[in-house]
Amino acid sequence: MCGIVGYYGKREVSPLLIKGLSKLEYRGYDSAGVAILSNDGDLTITKCKGRLANLEEKLEENPIHGHVGIGHTRWATHGQPSTVNSHPHSNEKGTISIVHNGIIENYIHLREWLIAEGYKFNSETDTEVIPHLIDYYYDGDLLSALMHATAKMEGSYAIGVVSTYEPDKVVAVRKDSPLIVGLGKEENFIASDIPAVLSETRDVYLLKNNEFVVMDQDGVRLYDAEGRRIEKEIYHVTWDADAAEKGGYEHFMMKEIHEQPKVIKDTMTSRIVLDQPINLDNITISKEQIEKLSKIYIVACGTAYHAGVVGKYAIEKLARISVEVDIASEFKHRDPIIDENTLMIVVSQSGETADTLSAMRLAKSRGARVIAVTNVVGSTVSREADDILYTWAGPEIAVASTKAYVTQLIAMYTIALYFAQNKGTLTTEQLEAYKKDMLELPEKAEEVLKNKEEIQKFASKTYMNKDMFFLGRGLDYAVAMEGSLKLKEISYIHSEAYAGGELKHGPIALMEDGTIVITIATQEELFDKMVSNIKEVTARGAKVFAFAPEGHTEIEEAVNAVTYIPKVNELFSPVIAIIPLQLFSYYVSVQKGCDVDKPRNLAKSVTVE
């Protein structure tokens, strides 16, 4: 959470910082601010509560001219959203300003110590210790002061610093919060994420933990924590800048929903090819290691966890290995049984989710091998895992995950088939048949997207409701969970997902006249049972909106409305069935006038536990 940017160059810094921050608003948007070294040598801070637009307005009223600066967009952790708690934070003299993404876990201790040393604090934030620490250690060298300050800090941070003491410079560092350096011509940038610099440069350094940056008139220099110079390969961004723009859609979420056929295809490309063994570029786990696996844990949060639930079905069915799916924040607190024959698959779009990282580190410390399924090249998860399977979803900007989810599903199926191929649990014919069915998914996803009007109508009939329920069995239950999460996060409607069979063990007590129930019934073997569940709720007055595969018209007499979805191999149906549910949530959110791309209280990347 929180996005940071920084610039050193010859151009006016203020618009560049705002532009960069606008691409990072998905990381937090409850306040924003900039610190600019103005042309007359002053360090001027402008910050305010609320969206970036408020900051922009303030800067229009009182422009600051300068060529060096840092900026921040905040998602509050310590201290409520307010102007005083927003970043940048400064030392008392106003000579050092910093922006920070992450959490300083020992800030109480540091704060007490600094207060005893005579420092005064204004905000409720953990961050405010940083400028005071730098001030304490400053002895003529800003980089060295930052190094000393970070040596005292526990927790996670990406920090950008500017100071009147060394006005022609930006220094920065990262540990467990992302930071990249954008490399321009006679100008350079720091940012939490690539989209913030993409309109200016495609060449970036992906920083690792405890790497420090100095940007000044001599360019960019990188250092390790001992102050030794380090060299780094330039990462050239190949994805299109348009991938991080709305491209004519009203919202990023709608654009990203429409990108799904393409990203499903991209994530399969070169991996799932007919008549060729499945080829997983960055996976080095051997056939012998796969054969020895006694247990797989799939660990993730939120939407990624829901992809993991589908992964369990797929891996157990195809590769016959026992799989447990865990919510990352719970995993490490239950003393899980892990040994060298345990594999952990971590699923994380951002690759920076703190709970997921902790679970991964625990598993590694106990000898498990880790495969990371992530969307962000160079993310912490990708660096720390033994093997990586990238989802090629491209940048996902809307806070509610859509295209990343379907690519995570594709990754889950690909891993399941890869393990089946190695373990010999499927014949070549069976493997080829599954691959063929998978390769049809992009086209089927296109078909669903043609059916938007029906879903929009359905949304307009239901958006006023306060509660909704999602029901499914088997893989459809996994889809129901994801559909329910989408609805609650972007429309603020209370919703729950239940396994159809579990209904009569309690939740049916909630059914009454007019209750909205959304059912998903794509699994042939469970179809009749699902229809029985539908009858159970309609008998109690519920209104049922069903999603069923084409051809199952008999469902019409049991429900109030049905939307048919193209038939696919039912193991892969979550990839297709989730799309109408995403669209449904989207339309409900729009009808309710909610902020689709930036729902309240949420942030795209949750880098705190």
CA–CA distances in Å: residue 92 to residues 31, 85, 158, 170, 423: 21, 15, 22, 19, 64
- 229 — phi, psi (to 5°)? -65, 140
404 DSSP assignment:
H
Nearest to 342 by CA among 353, 331, 352: 331
Choice among 47, 175, 265, 604 that is catalytic:
604
Nearest-approach distance from CB 479 to ligand F6R, in angstroms = 14
Nearest-approach distance from CB 351 to ligand F6R, in angstroms = 7
Nearest-approach distance from CB 73 to ligand F6R, in angstroms = 18
Count of residues of this chain found to bind ligand F6R when the rule CB under 6 A is applied:
15
Helices 428-439, 441-449: inter-axial angle, 10-degree rounding? 30
Q: Which of 6, 71, 195, 302 binds ligand F6R (CB under 6 A)?
A: 302
Nearest-approach distance from CB 285 to ligand F6R, in angstroms = 22
Nearest-approach distance from CB 38 to ligand F6R, in angstroms = 37
Q: Which of 545, 605, 607, 608 binds ligand F6R (CB under 6 A)?
A: 605
Residue 394 binding ligand F6R, by CB under 6 A: no
Q: Which of 46, 156, 348, 589 binds ligand F6R (CB under 6 A)?
A: 348
For ligand F6R, what does the binding mask look like between residues 434 and 473, x meaning CB under 6 A? ----------------------------------------
Nearest-approach distance from CB 601 to ligand F6R, in angstroms = 12
Segment contacting ligand F6R (CB under 6 A): 32-40, 121-129, 343-351, 382-390? 343-351
Nearest-approach distance from CB 387 to ligand F6R, in angstroms = 17
Is 457 noted as a catalytic residue in this protein? no
Question: What is the DSSP annotation of 140-158?
Answer: S-HHHHHHHHHHH--EEEE
Residue closer to ligand F6R by CB (options 353, 462) is 353
Residue 512: burial class (beta carbons within 10 Å; 0-12, 13-18, 19+): exposed
User: From CA 191, how far away is CA 530, in angstroms rounded?
Assistant: 49
Segment contacting ligand F6R (CB under 6 A): 125-133, 150-158, 346-354, 382-390? 346-354
Nearest-approach distance from CB 485 to ligand F6R, in angstroms = 6
According to CB under 6 A, which residues from 480 to 509 bind ligand F6R? 485, 489
Is 146 within 8 Å of 173 (Cβ atoms)? yes
Is 191 within 8 Å of 101 (Cβ atoms)? no
User: From CA 405, how far away is CA 427, in angstroms rounded?
Assistant: 29
CA–CA distances in Å: residue 100 to residues 74, 86, 156, 325, 476: 9, 10, 9, 33, 41
Chain Cα centroid distance, residue 12: 32
Is 486 noted as a catalytic residue in this protein? no
Residue 97 binding ligand F6R, by CB under 6 A: no
Does residue 384 sit in helix, strand or coil? helix
For ligand F6R, what does the binding mask look like between residues 17 and 36, x meaning CB under 6 A? --------------------
Choice among 2, 48, 301, 594 that is catalytic:
2
Consecutive H or E run containing 417: helix 403-423
- 48 — phi, psi (to 5°)? -160, 160
Nearest-approach distance from CB 272 to ligand F6R, in angstroms = 22
Residue 46 binding ligand F6R, by CB under 6 A: no
Residue closer to ligand F6R by CB (options 329, 563) is 329
User: From CA 609, how far away is CA 353, in angstroms rounded?
Assistant: 8
User: From CA 352, how far away is CA 365, in angstroms rounded?
Assistant: 19
Q: What would you report as the CA-atom Rg of the chain, rounded to the nearest whole angstrom? A: 25
Residue closer to ligand F6R by CB (options 381, 503) is 381
First to last CA, the chain: 11
User: At which residue do the structure tokens 């989209």 appear?
Assistant: 195
Residue closer to ligand F6R by CB (options 192, 605) is 605
Consecutive H or E run containing 5: strand 3-8
Q: What count of Cα atoms within 13 Å lies in the side-chain half-sphere of residue 13?
A: 31
Consecutive H or E run containing 534: helix 527-538
Nearest to 257 by CA among 604, 587, 609: 587
Q: What count of Cα atoms within 13 Å lies in the side-chain half-sphere of residue 147?
A: 16
Segment contacting ligand F6R (CB under 6 A): 173-181, 229-237, 298-306, 585-593? 298-306
Q: Which position's Cβ is nearest ligand F6R?
A: 302
Q: What count of Cα atoms within 13 Å lies in the side-chain half-sphere of residue 510?
A: 19
Nearest-approach distance from CB 178 to ligand F6R, in angstroms = 11
Q: Which of 201, 260, 267, 349 binds ligand F6R (CB under 6 A)?
A: 349
Segment contacting ligand F6R (CB under 6 A): 345-353, 498-506, 529-537, 573-581? 345-353
Residue 303 binding ligand F6R, by CB under 6 A: yes
The tokens for 495 are 């919703």
The tokens for 125 are 């934030």
Residue closer to ligand F6R by CB (options 303, 533) is 303
Residue 356 binding ligand F6R, by CB under 6 A: yes
For ligand F6R, what does the binding mask look like between residues 257 and 296, x meaning CB under 6 A? ----------------------------------------
Segment contacting ligand F6R (CB under 6 A): 222-230, 299-307, 312-320, 432-440? 299-307
Burial of 187-221, coded b for 16+ CB within 10 Å and e otherwise, reads bbbbbbbbbbbbebbbebbbbbebbbbbbbeeebe
Segment contacting ligand F6R (CB under 6 A): 20-28, 253-261, 280-288, 302-310? 302-310
Is 404 within 8 Å of 347 (Cβ atoms)? no
For ligand F6R, what does the binding mask look like between residues 56 and 85, x meaning CB under 6 A? ------------------------------
Residue numbers annotated as active site: 2, 604
Binding site for ligand F6R (CB under 6 A): 301-304, 348-350, 353, 356, 400-401, 485, 489, 605-606
